[in-house]
Amino acid sequence: MKNALLFWGIICTQLFPVFSDAQDLWSGYENLFLPAKNYVVYQTYNEMVIDGKADELSWQQASWTDNFGDIEGSRKPKPLYPTRVKMLWDKNFLYILAELTEPNIWCYYTTRDQIVFHENDFEIFIDPDRNTHNYYEFEVNAANTLFDLFLPKPYRNGGPPDISWNAAGFKSAVSIDGTLNDPSDVDKSWTVEIAIPFSSFDKEIENQTPVDGSVWKIDFSRVEWKTEIVNGKYEKIKNVQTGRFLPEDNWVWSPTGEINMHVPERWGMLQFTTNPVNGKNVTFQLPPEEKLEKYLWLVYYKQQNFRKTNGRFATSLAELSVPEVVTIDKKQSIDLKLSTKENHFLVELTTVDGLVLSLNEDSFLQKSHL
């Protein structure tokens, strides 16, 4: 009898494997699930003047983020120069202050919507409703040139960038501790101060003004090119053999695990509080669904790799080595369901209290309740 029970135990384990967070469910995908940074943004208590100087009392009270790291995370060297950000808000604007240490401050693009990441720049990515679709990108260089665009969905899903979109009412100013485009000296840093109107987030929901406790996806990137001085000007260095520019460095607030910023599900999180910046501290609260969504994203990433290998999407979770029931923190069980039809798939997650999260091949994330 004992041997028979052991036999059936082995068979059941093979047919219905039990997975936990401690096991190898995430093996090979660890770099896509790096811990996301978070920031609690407080309200201002004085009028903000966008002049690049950030000498308002509210800015002095606001906290800096950690210094940026490499976009791929700790497996790559730390950035050469520090970058950090702080944020505030009021009923009309999200305020962002970025400080970029830089010994050689340069840029030659001065016309709006030039692709400023072809030079050194500072970039902002925002997805207000956290569904990975309909998000916004803002890029500013040391000459205060703005490149703003809207994406209906990520590039990986065929999302065409809408460069014609302009953020109405966007304000920015740059101050430089050093000299712009002067290779004869050593600079210290440049600071960009930005005010983004909530009314400019107008491509999906009519009113995107946050309320107390709202959580947005947000991330920041700094593009840094390798340069040399030619005839008194900064020029990007080319590979002698290929004739191509040497690859740029991408230093970010919340690393995405790969050289790609257009993965909104891996950005950091911004929690709004109506507390003033000089008032009572607020602790960041992770939205409950964030911990669950990673299982949907694991299926999504595995589906993409499965199709590359097999020319089709998997029709069952078993083909992806993903269980239909997952236990989280040794206490909460969730059910996963995968449905596939031709070039489409939908993976759904249902909790015992009726929360339903779904994700399709277009990386569109939805939330509902039974």
Kindly report, residue by residue over 283-296, the tens digit of the pLDDT: 999 998 999 999 99
Tokens representing 81? 């120069």
pLDDT band at 330 (very low <50, low <70, confident <90, very high): confident
Q: What is the pLDDT of residue 319?
A: 97
Average pLDDT over residues 320-341: 89
The burial of 27, by beta-carbon neighbours within 10 Å (0-12 exposed, 13-18 middle, 19 or more buried), is given as: exposed
Q: Please provide the average confidence, as pLDDT, over all residues in the chain.
A: 92
Q: How far is CA 227 from CA 121, 224, 298, in A?
A: 14, 9, 39
Cα Rg of the chain (Å, integer): 23
Q: What is the pLDDT of residue 305?
A: 97
Q: What is the pLDDT of residue 203?
A: 78
pLDDT band at 7 (very low <50, low <70, confident <90, very high): very low
Tell which phi-psi region holds residue 245, choosing left (phi > 0), alpha (psi between -120 and 50) or beta: beta
135-140 and 121-127 beta bridge pairing = antiparallel
Nearest to 252, CA basis, from 227, 225, 271, 224: 224
- Give the dihedral of Cα atoms 194, 200, 206, 209; nearest 10 deg: 10
Alpha-carbon distance of 266 to 218, in angstroms, equals 9
Q: What is the pLDDT of residue 151?
A: 97
Average pLDDT over residues 362-369: 94
> Is a pLDDT exceeding 90 seen at residue 326?
no
Predicted TM-score of the model (pTM): 0.92
